[in-house]
Structure 1
Amino acid sequence: MRVAGLGFRAGATPASLRAAIRAAGGSDGLAALATAAAKAEAPVLRAVAAELGLPVRAVAPAALAAQPTLTASPRVAALHGAGSLAEAAALAALGPGARLLAARSVAPDGMATAAIAELTESP
């Protein structure tokens, strides 16, 4: 199962989020989108989730802060308690055993980031 974690600024557009997801590896095979609980109802995120036919998973602050991330932004750490909102949200949404496919990717306009995490079930 794969989940795309998203971080985005207030002025982000659906195109920003789509570009970040594309840069992170694309939407094929995703089971959900994830972000901080405080951002989960943002119209821009809900619009992209509806376009992709995916649910949005809201991640609590404590769950974000508990995730090890590959990248770190002081701004994001101050706001969300995690080095990368996109990376932490993707990992937290899948739970123990999840791994990032790569570090977060940034949309060309700099308004959104995305990271894809995967959880493989044991046989």
Structure 2
Amino acid sequence: MKQLALRIAGFGFRREATLESLAQALDQLAEQYEAIDKLAVAHSMLPLVEEFGRLRGIEVISVADAELPTVTTLTHSAQSLQARGTGSVAEAVALLAAGHNARLLGPRIISADRQATAALAEGNR
């Protein structure tokens, strides 16, 4: 039996980001892609997304920060590369959480307040 693909939204954000920043980013993704099954975030950024997931009733997957540089992303942010070793934290965590052979559905989007980014990956995890 074929496994159904899961859609996992990955987040990246600045220290100043709020729950509203995450909501803005996720709502933009949901408008564009509809179904979102789970959320993903780097372990060091877990508390804010964990709280957001609880409020929205969506499971959160934490990925190891050390894995971020192992992922090729569509976006190549110089700031993200310097801080986290990846072109987009949101894209990297979405891909890592979605599992082997996951694919991004598009480049990251940026919240209206520019404090958070979100990307959607499809995978079989």
The normalised TM-score by structure 2 is 0.86
Alignment-mate amino acid for residue 28 of structure 2: A
State the match for 2:44 in structure 1: 38
Mean CA deviation greater in 93-102 or 46-55: 46-55
Give the length in aligned residue pairs.
119
Q: What CA distance in whole angstroms lies between the structure 2 residues aligned with 1:6 and 1:113? A: 6
Q: What CA distance in whole angstroms lies between the structure 2 residues aligned with 1:58 and 1:88? A: 12
Q: What CA distance in whole angstroms lies between the structure 2 residues aligned with 1:55 and 1:65? A: 24
State the match for 2:112 in structure 1: 108
The Cα shift of 1:47 comes to: 2.4
RMSD: 1.8
Q: What CA distance in whole angstroms lies between the structure 2 residues aligned with 1:7 and 1:94? A: 16
The Cα shift of 1:9 comes to: 1.0
SS at match of 1:17: helix
- Runs of at least 5 residues in structure 1 that lack an aligned partner in the other structure: none
Q: What CA distance in whole angstroms lies between the structure 2 residues aligned with 1:120 and 1:50? A: 23
- Runs of at least 5 residues in structure 2 that lack an aligned partner in the other structure: 1-5
Q: Kindly indicate which of the two structures has a greater share of residues assigned to helix.
A: 2
1:23-62 per-position Cα deviation (integer Å, ceiling 9, x unaligned):
2235853222111111112xx3222101221222111123
The normalised TM-score by structure 1 is 0.87
State the match for 1:16 in structure 2: 21
Q: What CA distance in whole angstroms lies between the structure 2 residues aligned with 1:90 and 1:16? A: 18
SS at match of 1:11: coil
Q: What CA distance in whole angstroms lies between the structure 2 residues aligned with 1:94 and 1:45? A: 17
Q: 2:77 matched to 1:85?
A: no
